[in-house]
Chain A
């Protein structure tokens, strides 16, 4: 458990230093843990586990947009689990329950519980459709068509800078829509 969390901290430090591949690996590594915890939280609240993926995506977006609040001298796990817990509580509350989530839900996840590699979720996809055209095109190109920033730029006849701006604004707008829904 300790080694895993140290690895996450190292990956996040590299990511903040500009290593996109490390960032990708970090997000891939934490997702099964977040998913297992979301399922457990839903189960405890008597909710069907099929909404877990919405919660996971919610957490990932918050992690991404708030990563400047992480102190790079500190371990990543407490910061990550605090965000995850917050988002899980929000999700359960939105479904009409007051529930207190134990932080150990996240810390004690066993690797064996990791469910399927990836899964679809409806909420992010639904909000994606409400974004302005340009942001939607850029997100679609990078997410669904797995195009790079450069390929997206040439495909949509935009500059790479404009693609980056639209990408970030699109992600921020998605998160705001999910929060305020």
Chain B
């Protein structure tokens, strides 16, 4: 086929309109979310003392941290789905959860310690945390990668890493309502490890499936 013929064929297909990447991503995350919620409801569930926990600012802080990861990660992954997009000017958004954690850790340090530091750090749930967040992330990660395939990222591994971060952020938001370890030290250690693991998986798969 010569190029003029190809051009004529493409022009004949001009009427076809694809939805925007954001719409496809939203839809595929909505399809994936029930699976993650099912894992949550089957194996974890909301902690029994949730009503009193809500009065603890460190409990609430966990949601602020996880959502301040998930929402910027969604925004950046959509930005990166445009071929000419650069990370420049967007990367700092990923420092939001780090900054929140730093403030929370500082706040906790200034209070009279309820538990020794090592106990706050290691907590009771570190192993559950390390497996539950990745497990709940996986359906969301699959949904995010499916949605982002509709885009045209110039750096597929980076876009895949962002898919990992956003799914880890959403999964960690669910997990935070189960976990009784509210110390920001625990969150900074174990949530971060779990999210890093999911991010690495996202980058690896993304480098394969997000090429356009």
Bound form: Cα–Cα A148–B9 in Å: 10
Bound form: Cα–Cα A8–B39 in Å: 50
Instruction: Provide the residues of chain B in CB contact with A83, threshold 8 Å.
Output: 83, 152
Interface centre among A65, A69, A119, A128 (most CB of B within 10 A): A69
9 A-B pairs closest in CB distance: A82-B84, A24-B11, A82-B83, A66-B152, A143-B5, A68-B18, A118-B4, A143-B9, A27-B7
B47 in the interface (beta carbon within 8 A) = no
B212 nearest CB across to chain A (Å): 6
Contacting residue for B6 out of A18, A60, A81, CB 8 A: A60
A sample of 17 cross-chain residue pairs with beta-carbon separation below 8 angstroms, ordered by A number, consists of A15-B14, A20-B12, A21-B11, A23-B14, A28-B7, A31-B7, A62-B152, A81-B84, A86-B152, A86-B154, A124-B6, A143-B6, A144-B1, A164-B13, A164-B16, A168-B16, A179-B211
Contacting residue for B8 out of A24, A66, A78, A90, CB 8 A: A24
Instruction: Provide the residues of chain A in CB contact with B83, threshold 8 Å.
Output: 66, 69, 79, 82-83, 86
Which residues of A, 55-104, contact B by the 8 Å Cβ criterion? 56-57, 60-62, 64-71, 78-79, 81-83, 85-86, 90
A74 nearest CB across to chain B (Å): 8
Instruction: Judge whether A142 and B9 touch: CB under 8 Å.
Output: yes
A8 nearest CB across to chain B (Å): 14
Instruction: Provide the residues of chain A in CB contact with B150, threshold 8 Å.
Output: 68
Interface on B for A, CB 8 Å cutoff? 1-21, 81-84, 150-152, 154, 211-212
Instruction: Judge whether A118 and B3 touch: CB under 8 Å.
Output: yes
Instruction: Provide the residues of chain B in CB contact with A154, threshold 8 Å.
Output: none
Known: A66-B151, A149-B12. 11 other contacts (CB 8 A): A20-B15, A24-B8, A57-B1, A66-B83, A66-B212, A68-B21, A68-B150, A70-B82, A85-B154, A120-B2, A124-B1
Instruction: Provide the residues of chain A in CB contact with B152, threshold 8 Å.
Output: 62, 66, 69, 83, 86
Bound form: Cα–Cα A82–B5 in Å: 24
A14 nearest CB across to chain B (Å): 10
Bound form: Cα–Cα A158–B102 in Å: 64
Contacting residue for A121 out of B2, B14, B20, CB 8 A: B2
Bound form: Cα–Cα A121–B5 in Å: 11
Contacting residue for A117 out of B4, B11, B81, CB 8 A: B4
> Which B residue's beta carbon lies closest to that of A63?
B10
Instruction: Provide the residues of chain A in CB contact with B8, threshold 8 Å.
Output: 24, 142-143, 146
Instruction: Provide the residues of chain A in CB contact with B21, threshold 8 Å.
Output: 68-69
A42 in the interface (beta carbon within 8 A) = no
Instruction: Provide the residues of chain A in CB contact with B1, threshold 8 Å.
Output: 57, 120-121, 124-125, 128, 143-144
Instruction: Provide the residues of chain B in CB contact with A119, threshold 8 Å.
Output: 2-3
A37 in the interface (beta carbon within 8 A) = no
A167 in the interface (beta carbon within 8 A) = yes
